[in-house]
Amino acid sequence: MATTTNLFSFCSLLMASLFALSASLQFNDPDWYFWFPLYATACVVNLANWISNKKIIRSNAKFSLWLGVFLFLKVVIEDFVYGIAGFWSLDMRERVVREKFGSRFVVCSMFLQLEALSIPNDPTRGRKVYVAKHVQYGMTTLNTIFFFFNFFMFTIFMCIYVVI
């Protein structure tokens, strides 16, 4: 794996904290046994980007990526069959909308982590190879979207509930 920069490590730490929070909030759901492993493995992968055993991290990242894709498809099909909210809905009061966003964020994060893991260090040149800029900026953009979206939706819904 290429050497991670401070920006990538900080963004990974932020994503790990958000996934840990999401994992801890899953136990009140009827299908928590799907979502807890998704968020827990995503948290571990984001925390462990500095560990030297990359095979374990890569296998956990692939597991989390494919579980995220599977759960995203499950929620999209459930939404389509029952006509709950619609594919482009942003109504965060609906469980399927929240689950679609959560699985998308995990898939994006795991894709970026796998991209960072796929860049080999080149020991013959005697210099460090850093994580590609598109991976660093992708993780930064993902964090910005995640935090902005959560803050924006929380503020909107709190204002709506206070007015009503």
φ/ψ of residue 44, rounded to 5: -65, -45
pLDDT for the residue 39: 95
pLDDT for the residue 124: 61
pLDDT-based confidence at residue 163 (cuts at 50, 70, 90): low
Beta bridge partners of 3: 130
Amino acid letter, 57: I
Kindly give, in sequence order, each residue whose CB lies less than 8 Å from that of residue 52, ignoring residues fewer than 6 positions away: none
Residue 82 vs residue 152, higher pLDDT: 82
Contact present, 41 and 66 (Cβ < 8 Å): no
Distance CA 35, CA 49 (A): 22
Distance CA 164, CA 159 (A): 9
Handedness of CA 153, 155, 161, 164 (dihedral sign): negative
pTM for the model:
0.83
pLDDT for the residue 161: 63
**Segments making up each domain of the chain, as ranges:** 6-163
